[in-house]
Amino acid sequence: MSSTATTLKGQPLDKAVLDAMLRRRMFYTPSFEIYGGVGGLYDFGPPGCGLLANITDLWRKHFVLEEDMLEVDCTVLTPHEVLKTSGHVDKFADWMCKDPKNGEIMRADHFVEAVLEARLKGDKEARGQKVVEDTEDPAKKKKKKAKSEAVKLDDAVVQEYEEVLARIDNYGGSELGELIRKYDLRNPETGEIPSEPVSFNLMFQTSIGPSSNLAGYLRPETAQGQFLNFAKLLEFNQSSMPFASASIGKSYRNEISPRAGLLRVREFLMAEIEHFVDPLGGKKHSRFSEVEDVELVLLDRDTQLSGKTETRTVKIGEAVRSGLVDNETLGYFLARIHLFMVKIGVDTSKMRFRQHMANEMAHYACDCWDCELHTSSGWIECVGCADRSAYDLSVHAKKTGAPLVVRQRLDEPIVIEEWEVDVEKKKFGPLFKKDAKAVEAALLATSQEQREKLAKELTGNGKVVVSVEGVADGKAEVPAEAVKIEFRKRTEYTREFTPNVIEPSFGIGRTLYALIEHNFWTRGTEGGDEARGVLSFPPTVAPTKVLIVPLSSNAQFKPHLKKLSQRLRKLGVSSRVDDSSASIGKRYSRNDELGTPLGVTVDFQTLQDNTLTLRDRDSTSQVRAEEDTIVEAIRAIVDGSKTWADIEKELPKFEGQEVEVAAR
Ligand SMILES: Nc1ncnc2c1ncn2[C@@H]1O[C@H](COP(=O)(O)OP(=O)(O)OP(=O)(O)O)[C@@H](O)[C@H]1O
């Protein structure tokens, strides 16, 4: 597949034309623009809102309803302690470096990537080879600044650069610093080597309440709220496993250098699923057989490690059987993500699933695949699908002492001999006051080995000393009257385990933008005409489904327009009347740019026989029939039960207005 961006009809994508159209039609617009704007913040206009709402509605139907997921809506404001425990306070960071001359702050990995790519481009130019733009994600890069110079490189150097680029998401701060020094990477703007990369936490910090002593953050993902509600959700689900929770909501990340429109912003809509599964039994999925023949385009870890980006098309059943995808549940969700993307109108030739390399994975993940969509900004991660193992539930349980576990009745009881800790809760309160819970949690989180040692300490010294995070000196002394540690034998009738979590995490804004590019094309460029943009969204996601146009401003058309709008409204089909003075062709063109799939014209013949014309956005062909038939055709197209080709076969073709459209 070529990595240059093309339109739906294979034309080279003119980003400037598309951007101008999106601005003109107010899909989205920089926030606070009249104050100069703030990087990475965007407002959505009417068609953008329609598109967002339809994508999230389809998402809810495809995942939440189809799979009986338990939807929750948790708060954005999150106390420090929660995100400290989850690891975000310490690890949710990118590497940042600074130009010593002009003070410019850059994301270190993006900087290395941009400069190396510019050098490779220069090498190709020097060798007289064709340069293909956008080989990777320039949304991340200082593309404009990293201009290439036609300088030939050694073959070995080219290979080294390519290997670095294939693993660019894999480096830590010191490695990025080493690369900068080793390859003498300079900011093209100033000719300077940037400073050593330092870690920059991406969370927006705030304080909750007037006394400012409860530190908090705007959540960087919706996941934590779902984990903290796990025990209640399990109970809601009658303690039955596996099950999934889901949430749609805003998340916030203080990106170092937001750019490329909606692709890297500081406030964005996420739709996340946490599927809780028993870690024993190979993480099977009961509906895997329904998707095992779905073919996915995969870019695996080993291919990337060898510095390549070749993909292969594999049935997900095969990928799981061969161990390429770790387990059925992960595979099931990759296939379901693929099917969702197809449903909303993503071009499958511009979609791939890329496996994360070991160091690239988030601090909690044990296997991860990204669904990437190709755009004019290269390959963009739109969905991350990670196996987060038991990480989150375990750390929150350890910190709070809350039992974030599943208890299952065993068919055969088992006898267990082990060290047990009994805490005298009544003594703990007066002894440790506000730290009581943390001390208790620390004791209960001890391993069998530690308990054996502590038991000896308790008998020998009449007290134990345990490490407790967040208390003075990081330690607490627990006297023998407050705790018992004994080796006991017991019969278990239930099994207790911490579920593992498979998490598909969607960025709706990125998906929306990629969808726009995948459905964009232009017509009318033949014969020197100005290009007219079209967005060929599937009817289900199109912001407005029907444009209603009267032939002229004649007052006699008004009752028909009103009646038709009301009928469509009753069917739940969104429509807009355009009774402006522009020609019918212009009015249709305007709506082609908004992605409106159908157009109805009310003309003088309507007044006589109640017939209407119905126009298809993509082919511009039209049919004519009586109002009831047209309304039924609209309903069928919008709910997906019929296509335009079906309607064209059923209803008489109409040639009249097309002449006017074409002759504009
Ligand atoms: N700054 C952002 N702007 C828009 N969408 C985002 C942003 N960061 C993440 N997302 C979306 O949220 C999804 C899940 O987030 P995740 O933490 O996996 O992203 P990420 O790996 O940090 O992304 P990236 O590496 O591009 O920064 C991503 O697949 C993406 O669609």
Answer yes or no: CATH 3.40.449.10 is held by domain 15-87+203-391+502-508: no
Give residue 382 CA to ligand 1 midpoint distance, Å. 7
Question: Would the ipTM clear 0.95, i.e. be above it?
Answer: yes
Counting DSSP H helices and E strands in the chain, the numbers are 24, 29
pLDDT of residue 2: 37
pLDDT of residue 321: 96
Nearest-CA residue for ligand 1 atom 31 is 507
Ligand 1 atom at shortest distance from the alpha carbon of 507 = 31
């576990």: which residue's tokens?
A: 405
Nearest-CA residue for ligand 1 atom 16 is 384
Fold of 93-201: Herpes Virus-1 (3.30.40)
pLDDT of residue 547: 97
Give residue 661 CA to ligand 1 midpoint distance, Å. 42
Ligand 1 atom at shortest distance from the alpha carbon of 266 = 1
- What pLDDT, in 10s, does the model give residues 286-300? 999 999 999 999 999
Give ligand 1 pocket residues (Cβ under 6 A).
Answer: 253, 255, 264-265, 268, 270, 381-384, 505, 507, 509-510
Angstrom distances, CA of residue 186 to CA of 179, 183, 194: 11, 9, 7
- Tell me the three-class secondary structure of 26-76, residue by residue: CCEEECCHHHCCCCCCEEECHHHHHHHHHHHHHHHHHHHHCCCCEECCCCC
Nearest-CA residue for ligand 1 atom 10 is 507
CATH, domain range 418-495: 3.30.720.200
Give residue 381 CA to ligand 1 midpoint distance, Å. 7
What average pLDDT does the structure give for the chain? 91
pLDDT of residue 170: 79
Q: For the beta carbon of residue 109, count every other beta carbon within 10 angstroms.
A: 24
Give residue 509 CA to ligand 1 midpoint distance, Å. 10
Ligand 1 atom at shortest distance from the alpha carbon of 505 = 14
How far is residue 451's CA from residue 455's CA, in Å, rounded to a whole number?
A: 6
């993902």: which residue's tokens?
A: 221
pLDDT of residue 151: 84
Nearest-CA residue for ligand 1 atom 6 is 507
List the domain boundaries for the chain: 15-87+203-391+502-508, 93-201, 418-495, 544-662
What helix, strand, coil percent values describe the chain, rounded to 5? 40, 25, 35
Give 285: exposed, middle or buried? Use CB within 10 Å, 0-12, 13-18, 19+: buried
Q: What is the pTM of this model?
A: 0.84
Q: b/e per residue, 609-635, with b = 16+ CB within 10 A? A: eebbbbbbbeebebbbbebebbbbbbb
**Successive 10-residue mean pLDDT values, the chain, 664 residues:** 74 92 96 95 97 97 97 98 95 94 92 92 84 45 58 88 84 93 94 95 94 91 98 96 97 90 96 96 94 97 86 97 94 98 97 88 78 96 94 94 93 90 91 90 91 94 90 90 94 92 97 98 70 94 97 92 96 95 91 97 94 96 96 96 96 70 38
Q: Which amino acid is at 477?
A: E
Answer yes or no: CATH 3.40.50.700 is held by domain 544-662: no
| 8 Å CB contact between 52 and 27 | no
Residue of 451, 390, 376 lying closest to 420 (CA atoms) = 451
How far is residue 440's CA from residue 402's CA, in Å, rounded to a whole number?
A: 11
